[in-house]
Chain A
C-alpha cells in the first residue's frame, strides 16, 4: 500500500546541536506557523520558510491511555508554544505516563523513530 503524505512538523538540525521546527513566516504581517503553508493563512501575504525553537513552553498537556491503530498506550502529548511563535503538538520524550507541566520549558528533541515530533523537558 502506498504511504500517505506525512503532515507532521519537519525539523532541521542546527550546527550547534540544537533542533528547530521548520515552518513559515509571513513577509507582510509576520504571522508564523510551525507547518508548511502555501500563503499566509491570516493576511494571505507571501510566506518564507522560518525556523522555530529550539526552546518552547508547554501550553497544555495530556497522556493518552487508549489504543489507536499503530500505537501502544500510554503516550504523553503537549501543545508547545515554540520560541519565535508557533504552537505545535509534540510527544514528550521519555515521559511515559506522566503529564507534562503546563508552563514548563522544553526543547525540540527531534523526530522520533515513528516520525512524531518530540520535545524534551528541560532539567
Chain B
C-alpha cells in the first residue's frame, strides 16, 4: 500500500498574536479539506510544542471535527512532521482511511523575544538559548575551515530571496551578504538575519490510501528517529549524525538517493543548520555545504533548490506548524502550484525537520520524508 497526500492548506506565517489557534487552524484545515475534496476524517494527528493543553480539540471542535481520535504530539521543531510520520504509519497499518494532520503554534503572544531556555535541562538552565546551540556548531565549523562567514550569510540571502515568491511567508527580501553579516549579533557568529523569526501559524494535510486521483502526492518514504548520545566522543557537530541516519532510512524506503531528489525543504532555523543539513542529507560531503550554497546548486534555478519556500529563516518558524508547512510546500511544488517560487520539473521532493533542546543527545527528533515520483 502507498499512503498519499490528498490535500494541504495553511494560514499565513506571521506575527499575528491577535488570532487564536482555533482561528489559524480553521483557515488551514478548511483549505486542506477543500483541496483534498473530503468532508470528514477518521482521526487527527496534531503537532504542537507550546500549545495550551487541549489546543488540538479546542481548535477542531468549532469545525465539527469531533468524535474521532485526536492525538497531540510534541517533538520540538519536528512535532509537525512527527505527526505526519505517525499519520502515514497509521494509514499503512490499515487503522484509518482518512487522517488529518495539523501543525499549530501561537508563539508571539508567549515570547517577546527568543524562546526561553528550558530550566529543567542541564544546558538550558546554564543559559544555552537555542540560537547559541546552533552558534556552537557554527563556531566549530568556522574554526575547522568547513565554512566561511560569507557562506553562512549566503544561506540567508538565498532563502529570503526565495520567499519573495511566497505570499504566505513571514517576510522576505533582497539582502546582501554584507547586510546579513552586519545585522545585530545574536549568538556569535550568528547575526539576526541568520536566525528564523518567531511566528504564529497553522498548517494542515489530509492523508489516505491511493484513490486514483492524479493530483494526489505519494509518500514514498518517511523516517523518524531521536538522537543518540552526543558527548565528548562526538566529532560531528550537534545534529549531523541524527539527520544523516534518519535520511538513510527514508532514502532506503523510497529506493532513491539524494541525487534523485529535485528539491528539498529543510530545517534552516539558523543558517548553519541548512549547511550541516545539506551535508547530512548527502548533497555534499561533510564540510562541503558552504561551497554548495556558494555554487548556486541549492538556489532556485540551480540543480537542486533547497528551501524554495524561504525555509524557516524567511517563511517563518511556528514550531509545531513548521513540519506540516513543509509538507504543504512540497505538495504545491510537486503539483506545479508554487507560483513565483516554482521549482522547474519538480518530481521528487524531500522534507527534513530537526528538533532540539534536550542536552546530551544529538537531537530530540528528526523526520525525513520523500514525496512524489
A residues sitting closer than 8 Å to B (CB atoms) are 4-9, 32-33, 35, 41-42, 59-69, 71, 75, 77, 79, 81-82, 85-87, 89-91, 99, 102-103, 115-117
- Tell me which residues across on chain B come within 8 A of A33, comparing CB atoms: 231, 360
CA distance A7 to B120 in the complex (A): 6
CA distance A32 to B231 in the complex (A): 9
Within 8 A of A (CB), among B107-157: 113-114, 116-117, 119-123, 125-129, 131-132, 135-140, 143
CA distance A79 to B123 in the complex (A): 10
Assess the A60–B143 pair: CB atoms within 8 A: yes
Assess the B188–A81 pair: CB atoms within 8 A: no
Assess the A102–B140 pair: CB atoms within 8 A: yes
Size class of the contact patch on chain B: 35 or more
Give the Cβ gap from A66 to chain B, nearest Cβ, in Å. Answer: 5
Assess the A89–B359 pair: CB atoms within 8 A: yes
Assess the B116–A69 pair: CB atoms within 8 A: yes
Give the Cβ gap from B193 to chain A, nearest Cβ, in Å. Answer: 14
CA distance A90 to B143 in the complex (A): 19
CA distance A106 to B116 in the complex (A): 28
20 cross-chain CB contacts under 8 A: A4-B120, A6-B125, A9-B122, A35-B360, A59-B140, A61-B139, A62-B139, A63-B187, A63-B188, A64-B186, A66-B187, A67-B113, A68-B117, A77-B126, A77-B128, A77-B132, A81-B232, A82-B232, A89-B126, A102-B140
Give the Cβ gap from B242 to chain A, nearest Cβ, in Å. Answer: 16
- Tell me which residues across on chain A come within 8 A of B360, comparing CB atoms: 33, 35, 41
CA distance A115 to B127 in the complex (A): 11
Give the Cβ gap from B97 to chain A, nearest Cβ, in Å. Answer: 41
Closest to A102 in B: B143
Contacts known (A79-B136, A102-B140); A64 close to B232, Cβ less than 8 A: no
Contacts known (A65-B187, A89-B126, A91-B126); A99 close to B119, Cβ less than 8 A: no
Give the Cβ gap from A119 to chain B, nearest Cβ, in Å. Answer: 12
Give the Cβ gap from A102 to chain B, nearest Cβ, in Å. Answer: 4
Give the Cβ gap from B132 to chain A, nearest Cβ, in Å. Answer: 5
Does any Cβ of A come within 8 Å of B185's Cβ? Answer: yes
Residue in contact with B143 in the complex, picked from A71, A91, A103, A116, CB distance below 8 Å: A103
Assess the B126–A117 pair: CB atoms within 8 A: yes
CA distance A7 to B358 in the complex (A): 12
Assess the B137–A64 pair: CB atoms within 8 A: no
Residue in contact with B136 in the complex, picked from A6, A42, A60, CB distance below 8 Å: A60
CA distance A6 to B136 in the complex (A): 23
Closest to B185 in A: A65
Does any Cβ of A come within 8 Å of B89's Cβ? Answer: no
Assess the B122–A7 pair: CB atoms within 8 A: yes
Assess the A8–B126 pair: CB atoms within 8 A: yes
CA distance A63 to B187 in the complex (A): 5
Q: Knowing that A65-B187, A99-B188 are A-B contacts, what are 15 other residue pairs whose CB atoms are under 8 Å apart, sorted by A's residue number?
A: A4-B120, A5-B120, A60-B137, A60-B237, A62-B136, A62-B189, A64-B128, A65-B185, A67-B113, A71-B127, A85-B232, A86-B231, A99-B139, A102-B140, A116-B127
Does any Cβ of A come within 8 Å of B229's Cβ? Answer: yes
CA distance A62 to B117 in the complex (A): 16
Closest to A61 in B: B139
CA distance A5 to B49 in the complex (A): 22
Closest to A63 in B: B188
